[in-house]
């Protein structure tokens, strides 16, 4: 199952397009679109009764919130739901090739870009850390550089956790940010931080980092994959964990 997210922001416009069809499958089943957000320690689930066309649900800027995300389901999937923890409501979006939604962003009177808008359920029940380079997807010559971090966690909470920019070569924390769970977090990146040795690193919670840079009314929009997806060895997870432990050591040493 996938959840779908958007970006609520003053500097960019956003629209989510969620297909009503699946790869290699006819449109034989009808699924409704629901929104979800945490409030008072329970999940608030509402059917999305807004705009759609023959092939897509269309979620426009006015209906997008950094606190809210979306999913496809049927009423019967929610009959015995206790609203205390996100669940895998159905397998409709578990397809091969992968089911894709589209997250489009644009600047008023400027350019646009798009990215796949899926947050897989397998990430929702896990804790861990994000490790990502920033140099290859940000631009020192851009007018502005941002990293958006989407976290979706199974419990209906907004819990704060730390995000670091770390110079791995110098073994030094460059900047610390505080972000939160079940939220689309935004951090602006100073140009001086954009360096081949600087990495984004979080502790405690996972998430999807999305990189945006704006230059002369043009916009770039991309993401990185988890480090283990770039490694072919059978022990790739252990190799990545060894690297992450080194980042943990840097944080521990800097904080003591």
* DSSP state string for 136-151: TTS-TTSSEEEEEEEE
Residues 58, 170, single domain; the answer is no
- Asked whether residue 5 carries a pLDDT value surpassing 80, the answer given is yes
Yes or no: say if 231 and 140 are a contact pair by the CB < 8 Å rule: no
Q: What is the pLDDT of residues 129-174, one digit of tens each?
A: 999 999 989 999 999 999 999 999 999 999 999 999 999 999 999 9
If pLDDT is split at 50, 70 and 90, which confidence band does 54 have?
confident
What is the reported pTM? 0.93
Q: Are residues 155 and 92 in the same domain?
A: no
6 vs 216: CA distance, rounded Å: 24
CA distance 195 to 177: 18
Question: Is the same domain home to 87 and 30?
Answer: yes
Domain boundary (102, 121, 140) is at 121
| Segments forming the whole domain that contains residue 231 | 126-255
> 78 with 182, same domain?
no
- Domain end residue (candidates: 95, 121, 147): 121
Tell me: do 19 and 95 sit in the same domain.
yes
**Least confident stretch, 7-16, 22-31, 107-116, 155-164:** 22-31
Q: Are residues 174 and 202 in the same domain?
A: yes
Q: Last residue of some domain: 75, 100, 121?
A: 121
Distance CA 76, CA 89 (A): 10
């Amino acid at each position: 199952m996938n959840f779908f997210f958007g970006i609520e922001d003053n500097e960019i416009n956003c629209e989510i397009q969620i297909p009503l069809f699946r790869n290699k499958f006819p449109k034989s089943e009808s699924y409704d679109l629901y929104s979800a957000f945490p409030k008072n320690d329970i999940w608030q689930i509402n059917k999305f009764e807004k705009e759609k066309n023959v092939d897509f649900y269309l979620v426009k800027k006015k209906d997008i919130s950094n606190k809210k995300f979306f999913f496809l389901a049927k009423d019967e999937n929610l009959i015995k739901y206790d609203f205390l923890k996100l669940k895998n409501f159905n397998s409709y979006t578990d397809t091969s090739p992968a089911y894709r939604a589209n997250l489009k962003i644009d600047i008023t009177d400027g350019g646009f870009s798009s990215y796949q808008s899926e947050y897989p359920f397998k990430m929702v029940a896990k804790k861990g850390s994000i490790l990502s380079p920033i140099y290859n997807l940000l631009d020192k010559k851009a007018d502005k550089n941002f990293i958006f971090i989407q976290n979706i966690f199974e419990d209906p909470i907004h819990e704060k956790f730390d995000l670091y920019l770390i110079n791995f070569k110098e073994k030094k924390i460059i900047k610390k940010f505080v972000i939160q769970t079940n939220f689309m977090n935004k951090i602006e990146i100073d140009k001086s931080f954009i360096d081949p040795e600087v990495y984004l690193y979080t502790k405690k919670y996972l998430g999807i980092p999305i990189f945006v840079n704006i230059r002369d009314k043009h916009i770039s929009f991309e993401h990185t994959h988890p480090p283990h997806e770039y490694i072919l060895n059978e022990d790739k997870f252990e190799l990545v964990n060894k690297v992450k432990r080194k980042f943990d050591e840097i944080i521990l040493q800097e904080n003591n």
